[in-house]
Amino acid sequence: MDLKELRERQSWTLRQKIDHSLGVIDQFVSRLNGQVYVGFSGGKDSTVLLDLCRIVKPDIKAVFCNTGNEYPDIVRFVRELKNTEGYDIEIIYPTLKPAQVFEKYGFPLISKSTSAIIGKVRKKPDGKVFENFVVKRHSIFKLAKKWMFLIDEKFDVSEKCCNQLKKKPFHEYHITSGLFPISGEMASESIQRQMKYLQAGGCNQFDDTTNSKPLSIWLEDDIWAYIRERGLKIADIYHKGAKRTGCMFCGYGCQFKDDNRLQLCYELYPKMYNHFMNYTNNGVTYREAMRKVLAVNGLFLPDEKPKTLFD
């Protein structure tokens, strides 16, 4: 599998992609004798995935991890489906709460790759990570100069939030249940996911990391087109202006001017917003850390934005 072939598949019609995904799911289910589950986030992508999987295996189990960092709309939507006849949905929980993860590991800022680099450099400032990603900067995941100040900040920055709140609970579920995951990742979502798809050589993997990603070749427009075509109900948060869901207060991408997550949280759930902004690491609040990150691009927290800024 190479990038050219991926681009060709991404250009297929929706019908071609649906047929491809159904074939991927059928192969995965058959190869593993039905011992599979859908990693269900409650977002639009996994809602499409669950619908496709139910076409192949109507009684398929879906598993939702309530991290404590989910939009209330998402949790409500999942619970509604759970109580709908014909759906088999199980809800699991992480061992640590978001506040504990932030305090122990650090804040998730900028992006997963940037957080990982900063975290490793802070631990070993004279190590290979610093040499390769900061000094030589010869990788696509190099640390941008404007974020280098985070290396010397009092608070820690880490990518381990996702590992603790999502990946670890799902891994433990796999160990105890013996079921293998089907997830709704798309290669178009990030360079990292694109690279993983190309390295895997396809949507299904049957090795030490046995998993299925039937939506790998889909694009954002395909997801919405499928939702319209099938008349699927999705979580209300999308009708309230959310562009993407995921963890409610994740700092990844908040530094972009077109990201509306913080604004949406502040407007819809002010108490949760204020509660989360007071999470700490090394005595520094998430508010203080986020304020510094946003300032780099001339942005402000929604409740600190000057009233005359855009007048």
Asked if residues 8 and 189 have their Cβ atoms less than 8 Å apart, the reply is no
Does position 88 have pLDDT exceeding 90, yes or no? yes
For residue 109, the model assigns a pLDDT of: 96
For residue 25, the model assigns a pLDDT of: 98
pLDDT band at 282 (very low <50, low <70, confident <90, very high): very high
pLDDT in tens, 31-76: 999 999 999 999 999 999 999 999 999 999 999 999 999 999 999 9
For residue 121, the model assigns a pLDDT of: 86
pLDDT in tens, 231-247: 999 999 999 999 888 88
307/102: higher pLDDT: 102
Over range 89-108, report the average pLDDT.
Answer: 97
For residue 311, the model assigns a pLDDT of: 45
Average pLDDT of the chain is 92
For residue 141, the model assigns a pLDDT of: 63
pLDDT in tens, 108-149: 999 998 998 898 888 887 766 656 656 555 555 677 889 999
**Beta sheet of 61-65, edge-to-edge order:** 88-92, 61-65, 36-39, 180-182, 211-212, 204-205
Between CA 30 and CA 15 the distance in angstroms is 22
Over range 263-277, report the average pLDDT.
Answer: 95
